[in-house]
Amino acid sequence: MISGVGSKIGINENILSILLGRIEASDFSEPWSPGTDNPSARLRLQWSLATTMVHELMHALWYARHGTASYEPFYRDTRFSELGWQWEALLYEGAISATSERCEMAYGLRIQDWPGAITNVTYPLLQGVAPEPPKRAELFPVKMSWVAGFFQQQFWDEVERFGIQGTKYPRPDKGVFCNA
C-alpha cells in the first residue's frame, strides 16, 4: 500500500522582512549607481514567492500521495523528473530566477529554457535521462512590466480570454550565452 507524507515549506526570514517593510532589498546589494529600486525589488519578490510556493506545492502534492520513496514523474521528453520546474516551464515557457544568487531579488530576473543546459540537479528523488543537454545556456532578462502585469486585472482578463499563452514570457530575439 502506498502511503503519503506531509511536507513543510519554509520561507526565508529576509524575504518576509522585505515584504513586511522591515528591511529593503537594497540592504543586500552592493552600492551602485543608479542603485537598487526597492519597490521593483519588492514586486519581484512578491511574484517570485507566489511562483515558488506553487512550485513547492507541486512537490508536496506528489509526496502527499506517493510518499518520499517514489520518484517524481517525467513530463513528456523532459530530461529531469522535477514537477516544480516543469510547472514553471509550462506556465512561463522557461525557468525564471534571480539574476544573482541572492534570494532578496535586488537586481532583477532572468529566464532560460528548462531544463536547457542543466546537467546535474542534486534533489534526492530526481531522475535524469538522456539526451545530452546543450553546452551553453541562453539567458534573457525579464522585464518588470511583465512581472507587474501579474498584479493587474487586465492581465488576468487577457489570460481568461486567450488562455495560458498569456502567462508565457515573450522573449526577445537574442539573449546572453553562458557556459553550462
Summarize pLDDT for 39-79 with one digit per residue, the tens: 999 999 999 999 999 999 999 998 888 887 778 888 887 88
Whole-number pLDDT of residue 178: 73
C-alpha closest to that of 104 among 44, 30, 39: 44
Q: What is the CA radius of gyration of the chain?
A: 18
Can you tell me whether residue 144 is helix, strand or coil? helix
DSSP letters of 46-93? HHHHHHHHHHHHHHHHHHHHH-TTSPPPP-TT-SB--HHHHHHHHHHS
Is the sign of the CA dihedral 69, 54, 126, 93 positive or negative?
A: positive
Can you tell me whether residue 8 is helix, strand or coil? coil
pTM comes to 0.85
Whole-number pLDDT of residue 15: 92
Q: What percent of the chain has pLDDT over 90?
A: 48
pLDDT class of 133 with cuts at 50, 70, 90: low
